[in-house]
A and B are shown apart, each in its own frame.
Chain A
């Protein structure tokens, strides 16, 4: 299977820089998968699981939120706002964040705050889900 160069960089550092066979993630509009030879493509990243296929059948999984995905002829560049490999997720912290977000939604101080808490809840649930996939 053809490979392409994939870079995943977030403000927290470099998460991936090398060849990959397939990249699947959730854009604001739905799930997308990128294979080698994709046309130049630009989209905004939503909140969802990100899978990177390198060798073998099992992908590396990560929780990926926000930012942009830019596919060029030279390679694929993913710049998420936050990115965490499944093995690095702190499940306890994610549970705590989920609980905090639920409390906030139950008694919001303002509409903006409620919206923010809902996004935080989504993120926490994603992290819990992705953490659950690790062995």
Chain B
């Protein structure tokens, strides 16, 4: 059996770790409630936006705008949203695994979040930008900037398919990585199969689409960022909660061992004293 001193040291170190995990859990909980509010605010916006876009897709003809170019996909571009930090359970690795399964050959990558930037840099992917190191600090304005950049690259033909890998916030306990197709705008892609409806488009289809599509892409990206950030926090909360309870278990176990060691050492001392006294008589 380990000595009392050793056990005591381990208890101390585990208590320290427990304090950290508990603190991280509390931080995640408080941030999470804000992030969930943000989701509640933005969700109606981008679900409506997505259905409006499918109306747009039904009304559009490939001649009107470069955004619904048809043809083989030669190069894909994927926006990957992961976390800024680790210690969030499988959050980051789930996103990366999902990416590996679905990305195809040699895509262009725009990573958002420190973990994503580091991961794709290390793996030697071609990155569009590595300046979005913090998902937490990305705001709507950044999404518009990203969207303008990506739409311009798309029209210049640098890639012919744009999608976004993010994590869907299903509930506090379940978050799923998912892919959102953004460009090209494609009838088969987002239309629900109903007959195309007539829609008057003013001033002209081309002008309208070129102006609204970057906005719409930005809106959808913003939605994905909000979902991902809330997922990261929920995932961290769960991971830290179980780490804290594991620490509690280990500490309880060590306390038991410590007390056993203490008891046996006292017993031994008494035996020694008693036998010493007996020898003197």
List chain A positions with a Cβ less than 8 A from chain B.
7, 9-14, 27-29, 32, 39-44, 66-68, 70, 72-73, 77, 79, 81
Contacts and interface: CB of A to CB of B under 8 A. Distances in A.
A40 B202 CA distance: 11
Given A11-B222, A12-B41, A43 B208 contact: yes
Interface of B: 41-42, 44-46, 48-49, 52, 55-56, 59, 140, 143-144, 197-203, 207-208, 211-212, 215-216, 218-219, 222-223
A72 B54 CA distance: 12
Contact of B52 (A11, A29, A70): A70
Nearest to A14: B44
A45 to B, nearest CB: 8
A67 B219 CA distance: 9
A44 B216 CA distance: 11
B120 to A, nearest CB: 27
Nearest to A28: B211
Given A27-B202, A39-B200, A79 B44 contact: no
Nearest to A70: B52
Contact of B44 (A9, A42, A81): A9
Given A27-B202, A79-B49, A44 B44 contact: no
A67 B49 CA distance: 10
B56 A42 contact: yes
Contacts of B222: 11
Query: Is chain B's binding surface mostly helix, strand, loop or mixed?
Result: helix
B63 to A, nearest CB: 17
Contacts of A13: 41-42, 45
Given A42-B202, A66-B215, 8 more contacts: A32-B202, A39-B198, A40-B200, A44-B212, A68-B208, A70-B52, A77-B48, A77-B52
B202 A29 contact: yes
Contacts of A40: 197-200
Contact of B201 (A43, A73, A77): A43
A29 B121 CA distance: 44
Given A11-B219, A68-B212, A81-B144, A43 B202 contact: yes
A76 B55 CA distance: 13
Query: Is chain A's binding surface mostly helix, strand, loop or mixed?
Result: strand
Contacts of A72: 55, 197, 199
B207 A28 contact: yes
Contacts of A42: 55-56, 59, 199-202, 208
Contacts of A10: 45
A65 to B, nearest CB: 10
A33 to B, nearest CB: 13
B202 A68 contact: no
A73 B194 CA distance: 15
A92 B200 CA distance: 40
- Sort A-B residue pairs by CB-CB distance and give the 4 closest, nearest first: A44-B211, A13-B41, A9-B45, A29-B203
Contacts of A28: 203, 207-208, 211
16 contacts: A11-B45, A13-B45, A14-B45, A27-B203, A28-B207, A42-B208, A44-B212, A67-B215, A68-B216, A70-B52, A77-B52, A79-B45, A79-B48, A79-B49, A79-B216, A81-B144
B276 to A, nearest CB: 81
B202 A41 contact: yes
Given A29-B203, A40-B200, A67 B48 contact: no
